[in-house]
Amino acid sequence: MTNPSEAQRVERLSALSRQVSACRRCVDAGYIPTADPVGGARGRVSDRLMLIGQAPGRLSVARGMPFGGPGGEVLDDWLTRAGYPPNFLRTGVYLTALTRCFPGKVSGGKGDRAPSAAEMALCRPYLDAELALVDPELIVLVGGLAIRVMLGTGPLEHWVGQMVEQSGRHWLPLPHPSGVSRWLNAPAHRLLVDRALDQLAKWREERQ
């Protein structure tokens, strides 16, 4: 069977986006009260960089875009530090997540609840379809959960700072940029982010 043309991939991605936007699987299963899928297709089949986060937060839902809160600004700043032009997060990166609906807040806490394994399993076919259609050269994993699901267990310190080759793909693990995470407060951890961004800069330069 021949590989689909770019036009066919664009059409399939668009159909997938419509499917995600209409999805209510987690509501039907009783995991969340309402479905508000974000990022049906926040990117292009031609994007060479894909970024996988955990799940949208409240601001992302309100603005209808992944990483719509302050974390998105930090991520764009990190990309700029690796040599990409300003606003590249929005113009050159395929943005997606383990799940597409706001999971709600942690009960009694100020952070967002992490999606459960069952929710991630319901949403996973969308991510797998995107990976197949976009076929990115590099996947940036943002946050411990995305790293654990896509690469494996281990503390952030184990993963951040290296480019990983696994399952036939290249991965760059990064911490979540949100101010809620205290991991970035440690100078040693910020050095690991610097190292990761150096790896990204090198990867970008090699492909110019």
Task: Provide, rounded to whole angstroms, the least separation between the CB of residue 186 and ligand SF4.
Answer: 32
Query: How would you label 38-77 residue by residue, b for 16+ Cβ within 10 Å and e otherwise?
Result: bbbbbbebebebbbbbbbbbeebbeeebbbbbebbebbbe
Among 49, 52, 61, 123, binds ligand SF4 (CB under 6 A): 123
Nearer to ligand SF4 among residue 75 and residue 98 (C-beta)? 98
Q: Pairing mode, if any, of strands 164-166 and 169-174?
A: antiparallel
Considering only 37, 39, 144, 175, the residue that binds ligand SF4 (CB under 6 A) is 37
Q: Report the nearest approach of ligand SF4 to the CB of residue 98 (Å).
A: 9
Output the six-digit token pair for 170: 């290249």
Number of residues that bind ligand SF4 (CB under 6 A): 13
Considering only 9, 25, 42, 189, the residue that binds ligand SF4 (CB under 6 A) is 25
Of 40 and 177, which has the nearer Cβ to ligand SF4? 40
Q: In what order do the strands lie in the sheet with 169-174?
A: 93-97, 49-53, 138-142, 169-174, 164-166
Q: Which is nearer to ligand SF4, 101 or 193 (CB)?
A: 101
Select from 57, 39, 67 the least CA-distant residue to 102.
Answer: 57
Please select the residue that binds ligand SF4; options are 122, 149, 164, 196, rule is CB under 6 A: 122
Residues 141, 170: contact at Cβ < 8 Å? no
- State which of residues 52, 101, 145, 160 lies at the interface with ligand SF4 (CB under 6 A): 101
The footprint of ligand SF4 on residues 41-100 (CB under 6 A) is: 99-100
- Asked if residues 115 and 57 have their Cβ atoms less than 8 Å apart, the reply is no
With CB under 6 A as the contact rule, the residue among 45, 119, 193, 200 that binds ligand SF4 is 119
Only segment of 78-86, 105-113, 119-127, 200-208 that touches ligand SF4 (CB under 6 A): 119-127
Per-residue exposure over 5-22, b if at least 16 CB sit within 10 Å of its own CB, e if not? eeeebbeebeebbeebee
CB nearer to ligand SF4: pick between 9 and 25: 25
Give the containing element (helix H, strand E) for 140: strand 138-142
Which residues are at the interface with ligand SF4 (CB under 6 A)? 20, 23-26, 35, 37, 99-101, 119, 122-123
